[in-house]
Structure 1
Amino acid sequence: MIPLPRELRQCRDCGESVLITVTRLGRYLLVDPRPDERGNQACYRVGPRVWHSRSLDAAGAMPPAAWEHRYVPHVATCKPKKPKATQEALPILPANVTRLDPKRRRRRRSR
């Protein structure tokens, strides 16, 4: 089953078309829009513009059912247009100073 053009979105990193699916845990997973036998995600349409996916690599995972097709996760094929910031772009610190910026998490504001 191939998704309709209105069901596809653009990847923020590479600009390619992707299909957004919902996993069994309720999280979003981007997959490439064409079925591929090399894929490890079984995806199927639940309703208009709603797709679900499940991993075929999990322990005890069943093979794809008749209504499911294999898709490749987009993270495996994504080629970002702009390189991500690296540690080399940051200023050099003395040997006894540790940079905490990359290890910090964003805090949610409570209202």
Structure 2
Amino acid sequence: MTTRTYRVQATGQFARLTPAVRGQLREEQGAHDLFLAAFTPEGTFTYAPTLTRFTLRYLLEVAEDSAAEADEAASVEGELMAAQYLESRGITHKPLTVTVVCMDDVKVRRRAPRP
């Protein structure tokens, strides 16, 4: 069993928002500003005041038999979490685009000290 840590980002566009949902999103926009974006287990929802595009960010730990299976599971889980969040808020949208980065695969290059 392999456990891997992922940053999952689901992006999309708002579509056919009801006046009530549009009003609620405008009221709450300050709490969902891009500058507050972070990858968290519970997710971070950000969008611009224009109500055109949005992003949901998740930090997930996935345990599967192989790295490839964990990669696929992270993508599916992130997309499901994003869709459930949007549905729970009554937010209609166009299809989501999901990107996944395994933090275990990220190589950090240290800068050489300056003379």
Larger helix proportion, structure 1 or 2? 2
For Structure 1 versus Structure 2, the TM-score category normalised by the shorter chain is: under 0.3
Give the greater-gyration-radius structure (CA): 1
TM (norm. structure 1) is 0.24
